[in-house]
Structure 1
Amino acid sequence: MASNYCSATGTALFLLLFFLFTSSSMAALVQKQPLLLKYHNGDLLKGPITVNLIWYGKFTPIQRSIVVDFLQSLNSRRAPVPSVSSWWKTTEKYKGGGSSTLVLGKQVLDENYSLGKSLKNSQLIYLASKGGHLSGSINVVLTAKDVVVYGFCMNRCGSHGSTRGPTRFAYAWVGNAETQCPGYCAWPFHQPVYGPQTPPLVAPNGDVGVDGMIINLGTVLAGTVTNPFNNGYFQGPPTAPLEAVSACTGLFGSGAYPGYAGNVLTDKSSGASYNSHGVNGRKFLLPGDVGPANIPMFDACLIWITEKERNYPVWTHCSTYVNTTFGTS
C-alpha cells in the first residue's frame, strides 16, 4: 500500500485553506484549522538507513549531483545554519522512532526507459526492487521529466509505501515535473495552478524540475521514516494520509499562506530563494514539518524564521510568527 504526497486530500485541503484565508485573518485560520497526526502504534524506521536511488530516464550529471548532495546533507554537521540536517532531525523525535541516519547506497541508472515512458504503480515497485530487498533501506525511484506515471500531476507528486512478505522493504517515488506540471509539483519555483498568481521564486540550484523534486523527495522520505508501513504517524485515510511534511504543504517560511511560500532567504548573487544549507555549498528550499509535538498543524509546522525577524537563525513553530510578527494580518 502506497501513500501519496500531494494527494487529492492534500489538494482539497490546500484549496480549502485558500478560500478560508481570503475571508479571514491568518490568526483566525490558525484557530479554525487544527490538524493532528495520530500515532497508529506501528513501527518507524530508525538507525542507519540506506537510501538506494533508481534513476529512470535521462538525468544529467548535474541533476543527479543535486539530489545526491541533498541526501548527504540530511546528516551532515558541516553545513552552516539553517541546515538540512537540522530540518531532518525533527523526524528523530517522534514517539516510537529514534535516530535515523540516511546513508547513500547504490545508484541504478535506467537511461533507456526499460519499461517505456508510461508507468503504473506496479512498475514503480518493480523498479524499486532493483535497489535490493534489505529491511533497513529505502529504495527511491526518480523518474525523468518525460516519464508519465499514473496519478502524477493529477493527484500526486510522489509517493511511498512498502512491499509485503518476508522480503518487505520500503520504497518511494518522485517525478520530475519540469515539463508536465511545474505549477503543481514544482511550486513555488513556477506560478501555481491554483490561487494567487504570484511571481515564482528562483530555484536555488538553477533547475526548476529538480529543485521541485527536492521538496517532494524530502516530503516522502520524512513520510517513509515516520509512517513506513501505513501504521505510523498520519491523519486521514491510510490510502491518502497527511503525514509529517505533507501536512505542511506550501509552508516554507514565516508569514506563509496559500499562494505565498513565506519569508525565506535570498542568495545575493543569484537571487535564488532557499531556507536550508547543505553540503558542497548547496542551498535548498524545504517545506515545514509537523514535528513531534502532535498539536494542531499551524501551531506545529516547523518553518524558517529569517534573521530579519530574529537575531539568530532558527527553525521554529508556526505559532511563533502567527502570534508575534504576522499575527495582525
Structure 2
Amino acid sequence: MKNHAATVAEWWRTVSLYTDQTGANISRTVLIAGEYSDRKYSQGSELSRLTVQQVIANSVKSAPFPVEHKNGVYLILTSEDVRMQDFCRAVCGFHYFTFPSMVGYTLPYAWVGNSGRQCPEVCAYPFAVPAYMKGGGMGAVEAPNGDVGVDGMISVIGHELAELSSNPLVNAWYAGEDPTAPTEIGDLCEGLYGTGGGGGYMGQVMRDGKGRTYNMNGRRGRKFLVQWIWNPLIKACSGPNALD
C-alpha cells in the first residue's frame, strides 16, 4: 500500500480541529522554541511525577529557555536508563501541568520515556510484542527508523502532544464522566494505525523497500508509525493514511 500524501502535518490537522472556550482552534503550527538537556541527571535516574517537575524548574531557570504561559507546552523525554513512577506498569507517557510552588508557573507538560531496555513489548508495540503473542497472531513489525525504543516513543509523543493541546490543564476535552481519569483523544484510538484497525489489528499501513512499517511521512524522507486520534467532526478515529 502506498499513500505519499499521508504526512505528519496532515495528522496534526485533526488535532487543530479542537477549539477552546472562545472557539479558537489549536494552532496548525508547532515550533521547537528551545531545548534543555539535563545530562548530569540532576534528579537521579529514578523519577516521580513530582521530581520530573523539578527538571522543568531547572530548565526554565536556564536562560534563554523560554517560559510561555499561553501558547507553550513542555515535553520531557528521558533516555532508556531512566525509570519513571508507573512506567511500563501503568503508563508509557502522561501529561499534566506544573505547580507554581515547584516551578514558579503553571505550565502544561508531557513526559515520554524510552522503553527500549525496560518494556518495549508494552510501550514500543508493535515494534516489539509480548511473549504470549509470539506463538501466533501478529508478530513484531520493523521500526521505520531502525530504533525500537525511539520509534516507540514517537507514537507516544504524538499521543501526548495531541492530548496536551486539547486538554492542557485537565479541564478541557475528554470523554467519560470522571475528569480525574479522563479518556482523551489519543486514548480513544490507541492501537489504531490504519483503516480497518481494531481488535489487536493495527489496520492497513505502508512498508518501504526494506520492510519497515510506517503510516506517515515526515521531513527529509523520514517515516513514522503514529497512532490515529479521535476526529471530532466525524466522531471516529482518523489518520492521514485512511483509505476512506
> TM-score, normalising length from structure 2?
0.85
The one-letter code of the counterpart of 2:89 is M
Q: Which of 53, 75, 100 is 1:140 aligned to?
A: 75
Shift of 1:110: 1.7
Shift of 1:260: 2.1
2:162 is aligned with 1:222: yes
Shift of 1:290: 0.6
The one-letter code of the counterpart of 1:262 is G
Aligned to 2:139: 199
2:92 is aligned with 1:160: no
Aligned to 1:102: 30
**Pair 1:164–1:123, CA change in 2 (3 A):** closer
Shift of 1:294: 6.9
**Pair 1:238–1:303, CA change in 2 (3 A):** same
The one-letter code of the counterpart of 1:301 is C
Runs of 4+ in 1 over 3 A off after TM superposition: 192-197
Moved more, 188-197 or 137-146: 188-197
For 1:86-142, what per-residue CA distance to the aligned partner results, in whole angstroms no more than 9, with x for missing partners? 000111112324141211122111222221111111111111234433212111111
**For 1:212, what is the secondary structure of its paired residue?**
helix
Q: Which of 137, 149, 160 is 2:84 aligned to?
A: 149
**For 1:177, what is the secondary structure of its paired residue?**
coil
Pairwise mapping of residues 1-329 of structure 1 onto structure 2 (< 5 A)?
Answer: 81-96=5-20, 97-100=24-27, 101-132=29-60, 133-135=67-69, 136-165=71-100, 167-192=105-130, 197-236=137-176, 237-268=178-209, 270-293=210-233, 295=235, 300-303=236-239, 305=241, 315=242, 320=244
- Whether the aligned pair in 2 keeps the contact of 1:234 and 1:241 (CA below 8 Å) is yes
**Pair 1:167–1:227, CA change in 2 (3 A):** same
Aligned to 2:64: none
Structure 1 CA distance for aligned equivalents of residues 94 and 130 of structure 2: 21
Please give the root-mean-square deviation of Cα atoms over the aligned residues, in Å.
2.0
**Pair 1:191–1:114, CA change in 2 (3 A):** same
**Pair 1:225–1:282, CA change in 2 (3 A):** same
**Pair 1:167–1:155, CA change in 2 (3 A):** same
The one-letter code of the counterpart of 1:134 is E
- Whether the aligned pair in 2 keeps the contact of 1:290 and 1:302 (CA below 8 Å) is yes
For 1:36-89, what per-residue CA distance to the aligned partner results, in whole angstroms no more than 9, with x for missing partners? xxxxxxxxxxxxxxxxxxxxxxxxxxxxxxxxxxxxxxxxxxxx5210000001
Shift of 1:238: 2.6
**Pair 1:131–1:86, CA change in 2 (3 A):** farther
Gaps (5+ residues) in structure 1? 1-79, 306-314, 321-329
Structure 2 CA distance for aligned equivalents of residues 126 and 279 of structure 1: 33
Aligned length: 224
Shift of 1:193: 6.3
**Pair 1:212–1:260, CA change in 2 (3 A):** same
Percent identity, aligned pairs only, is 37
**For 2:153, what is the secondary structure of its paired residue?**
helix
